[in-house]
Amino acid sequence: MKYIFHSQDIKQAISVPFYFITEAYQVFLASMPLFFVPIVCNEEICTPVHNLKKTNNIGITLHFITFLSLLTGYTIELYREYWCINYLDVNNNIADNSFTIDVKLKNKLKNINNKYEIIWFSSFLCFLLNIGYSSFRLRHHFIDSYDSLITYIAFISYIFKKYISVLGISYDFFKHKHINISSYLTENVKYNIEQQTISTDFTIN
């Protein structure tokens, strides 16, 4: 099907990459605390390169597995967001729970959200292992440097904030079955109607 793109769709499509790139950079830093948390080396702050050389294989492996799991989560989230922009729309004049979308769209939406939940849950387990090991390795530096502790807490808080957002989106879909909250737009946008169609141009898988 060929869908009509309104100014709202264009705004959403442009906003999403900006938020994605910003969050991806923050996630990269936060998933590798042994590299980027400032610690003291010979009375000077170690560079990330020095920290990398001092980190054992377990820490490096956990860091990159965590980052890849988060990147996978953001990939499915980005796909989900553009799917919503392409196939669904927002109508603030109707109640969220008063609209039932087409069966094919509903099944596709359910499939996307199921993958979304599984990937992010797996990522959360990797993250817990990562912060557990990183906390053990950095524990002495927290005592010696207040800045190290503050930076580490900031990293963890940023990721936990993301997981809370994912939990809210998953709960909303579980509660309403057909409602999809935007993952990136700052407003509390809920896709609650189908896009208007004007002709058949491609099919929905």
Q: What is the pLDDT of residue 3?
A: 42
Phi, psi of 89 (to 5 degrees): -145, 175
Q: What's 133's DSSP letter? A: H
Distance separating alpha carbons of residues 47 and 54, to the nearest angstrom: 11
- Cβ neighbours, 10 Å, residue 201: 9
Q: What is the pLDDT of residue 134?
A: 93
Q: What is the pLDDT of residue 1?
A: 42
CA 82 to chain CA centroid, nearest Å: 14
Q: Do residues 104 and 204 make contact, with C-beta atoms less than 8 angstroms apart?
A: yes
Distance separating alpha carbons of residues 143 and 5, to the nearest angstrom: 55
Phi, psi of 181 (to 5 degrees): -85, 140
- Nearest Cα to 20, choosing from 70, 56, 58, 83? 70
Q: What is the pLDDT of residue 38?
A: 84
pTM (2 d.p.): 0.75
* pLDDT of the chain, 205 residues: tens digit per residue: 444 444 555 666 677 777 778 888 889 999 999 999 888 777 778 888 888 888 899 999 999 999 999 999 988 988 888 887 787 766 666 565 555 577 788 788 888 888 988 999 999 999 999 999 999 988 877 766 677 888 899 999 989 988 988 888 777 776 655 556 666 554 555 665 566 543 334 344 4
Give me the helices (H) in the chain, please: 7-30, 33-36, 48-54, 57-87, 103-144, 146-176
Q: What is the pLDDT of residue 64?
A: 95
Phi, psi of 3 (to 5 degrees): -105, 145
